[in-house]
């Protein structure tokens, strides 16, 4: 493994002393103006450590050059704890894989280098380089925004709230956040609040002591213990009962909990990622969800669009699922167009199941629309027809017309109100939650 260092000689020596692995070779790039990265000088490197304290303007330019000329390698920025505020704020705007604040992040930096340099992880790392594309398939503005969100927030330990309809891939986003975090060597454990009776949910999350209730024949460790040093993904959190909400809030506030039937305080180092297909603000109004828990969970929020709102990604997803099947099949352009016109109410989950079914049912080399489940064929055949005017311009369906007008409406509102989303939502007479959903739906940067 090769590590490129752009830093002072003292800092480069510090990195060499920090890492004792024989599998690591350091390449120290001296300070130069108009830095270039010629292939004959740096044939390949796995990780670049760029010190922002060395020379910020040159460091920033180098990061951009490395992204252009060495896109397959990882780039991390290094900053000092006492760095200027403007440097710290620019960390979040840079196109980097990670950042380390020294000396606080020395252990995390060492862990990251040792993980990359471990021979048994070489294959894992080559997969991880393309992980964004493998986990979240698509090139639409909304998907690119999701990838950007994951990249920026994965290194943090703050809670994340993922909002979106069922089947849109909320668990994939949770997994991507975990895999790209410093907790990736720890477990990620998922629990679905909607699939479990309320009286069992508390027991699953926090565990119990022997004799805590009838049938508790022995001690049981809960998910907060099992997910220690990792991530706990709580799906359909809008279905969580009030008693469990209170205990979850306490964990978020103190990092401690008690097993059922115990007075002992246990500590849990867990990152919480929650997901819901409900609008939690409405649940709060109805008295079914705690306001304080909502604000604790929604420090970082992302809205996942329905598949019909990112229809341009459907052809990519179809081909991805065909390749995943391991069966050599083709699909015609006409069939892809027909499937793209379908609304997919079950979202990505429904599309994947339909493609898997078609791959098996197709008799020849080519998959046809007739190979898809009857529900898809029928709904596709009865989808709204395109309306053409005499001049040949295609106005599209009424739904498309309304969505185009709505997108333009929100773009104009954003231009008027700028960064003040509270005032914007108030002026439009919608909640901030709905505002963010609309902006994400149409891929509008904010």
Per-residue model confidence as pLDDT tens digits over 347-396 = 999 999 999 889 888 888 899 999 988 878 775 544 443 443 443 444 45
Q: Quote the mean pLDDT of the chain.
A: 80
Looking at the domain 308-381, which fold is it?
Helicase, Ruva Protein; domain 3 (1.10.8)
Q: Do domains 2-126 and 134-303 have the same CATH topology?
A: yes
Looking at the domain 134-303, which fold is it?
Rossmann fold (3.40.50)
- For the question of whether the overall pTM of this predicted structure is more than 0.75, the answer is no
- Give the residue extent of every domain in the chain: 2-126, 134-303, 308-381, 398-441
Q: Given pLDDT bands bounded at 50, 70 and 90, which one contains residue 401?
A: low
pLDDT of residue 392: 42
- Quick one: average pLDDT of 211-216? 79
pLDDT tens for 46-83 read 788 888 876 777 888 888 777 766 656 788 888 876 76
CA gap 60, 228 in Å, rounded:
36
Looking at the domain 2-126, which fold is it?
Rossmann fold (3.40.50)
Spell out the SS3 assignment of 143-192: HHHHHHHHHHHCCCCCCEEEECCCCCCHHHHHHHHHHCCCCCCCCEEEEE
**Between residues 184 and 70, the one the model is more confident about:** 184
* 126's tokens: 């080559």
CA gap 439, 145 in Å, rounded:
11
Q: Given pLDDT bands bounded at 50, 70 and 90, which one contains residue 446?
A: low
**Between residues 438 and 255, the one the model is more confident about:** 255
Q: Given pLDDT bands bounded at 50, 70 and 90, which one contains residue 397?
A: low
pLDDT of residue 394: 45
Is 137 a residue whose pLDDT tops 80? yes
pLDDT of residue 152: 93
pLDDT of residue 173: 94
* Residue bearing tokens 């329905």: 306
pLDDT tens for 18-53 read 776 656 778 887 665 455 544 444 445 778 888 887
pLDDT of residue 347: 92
pLDDT of residue 444: 78
Q: Given pLDDT bands bounded at 50, 70 and 90, which one contains residue 86?
A: low
pLDDT of residue 164: 92
pLDDT tens for 143-173 read 888 999 999 999 999 999 999 998 999 999 9
Is 336 a residue whose pLDDT tops 80? yes
- Quick one: average pLDDT of 237-257? 94
pLDDT tens for 102-121 read 877 777 787 777 666 554 34
**Angle of CA points 431, 434, 435, to nearest 5°:** 85
What is 398-441's CATH number, 3.40.109, 3.40.50, 1.10.10, 1.20.140? 1.10.10
């Amino acid at each position: 493994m090769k590590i490129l260092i752009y830093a002072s000689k003292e800092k480069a020596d510090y990195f060499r002393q920090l890492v004792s692995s024989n599998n690591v070779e350091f390449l120290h790039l001296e300070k130069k103006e108009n830095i270039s990265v010629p292939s004959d000088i740096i044939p390949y490197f796995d990780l670049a450590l760029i010190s922002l304290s060395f020379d910020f303007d040159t460091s920033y330019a180098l990061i951009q050059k490395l992204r252009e000329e060495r896109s397959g390698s990882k780039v991390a920025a290094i900053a000092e704890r006492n760095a200027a505020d403007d440097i710290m704020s620019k960390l979040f705007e840079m196109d980097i894989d990670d950042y380390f604040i020294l000396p606080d992040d020395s252990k995390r930096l060492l862990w990251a280098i040792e993980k990359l340099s471990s021979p048994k992880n070489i294959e894992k790392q080559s997969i991880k380089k393309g992980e964004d594309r493998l986990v979240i398939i698509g090139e639409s503005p909304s998907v690119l925004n999701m990838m950007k969100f994951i990249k920026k927030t994965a290194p943090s330990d703050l809670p994340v709230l993922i909002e979106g309809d069922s089947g849109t891939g909320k668990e994939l986003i949770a997994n991507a956040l975990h895999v790209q975090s410093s907790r990736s060597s720890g477990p990620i454990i998922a629990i679905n609040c909607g699939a479990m009776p309320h009286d069992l949910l508390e027991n699953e999350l926090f565990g119990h002591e022997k004799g805590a209730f009838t049938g508790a024949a022995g001690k049981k460790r809960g998910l907060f213990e099992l997910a220690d040093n990792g991530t706990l993904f709580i799906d359909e959190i809008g279905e969580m009962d009030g008693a469990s909400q209170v205990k979850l809030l306490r964990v978020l506030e103190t990092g401690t909990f008690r097993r059922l039937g115990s007075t002992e305080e246990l500590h849990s180092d867990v990152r919480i990622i929650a997901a819901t297909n409900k609008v939690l603000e409405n649940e709060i109004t109805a008295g079914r969800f705690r306001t304080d828990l909502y604000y604790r969970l929604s420090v970082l929020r992302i809205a996942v669009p329905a598949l019909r709102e990112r229809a341009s990604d459907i052809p990519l997803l179809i081909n991805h699922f065909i390749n995943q099947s391991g069966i050599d099949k083709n699909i015609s352009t006409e069939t892809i167009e027909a499937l793209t016109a379908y609304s997919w109410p079950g979202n990505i989950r429904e599309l994947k199941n339909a493609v898997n079914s078609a791959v098996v049912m197709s008799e020849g080399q080519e998959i046809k629309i007739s190979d898809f489940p009857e529900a898809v064929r029928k709904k596709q055949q009865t989808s709204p027809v395109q309306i053409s005017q005499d001049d040949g311009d295609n106005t599209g369906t009424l739904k498309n017309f309304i969505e185009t007008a709505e997108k333009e409406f929100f773009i104009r509102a954003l231009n008027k109100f700028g960064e003040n989303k509270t005032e914007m939502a108030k002026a439009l007479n919608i909640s901030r939650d709905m505002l963010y959903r609309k902006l994400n739906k149409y891929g509008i940067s904010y």
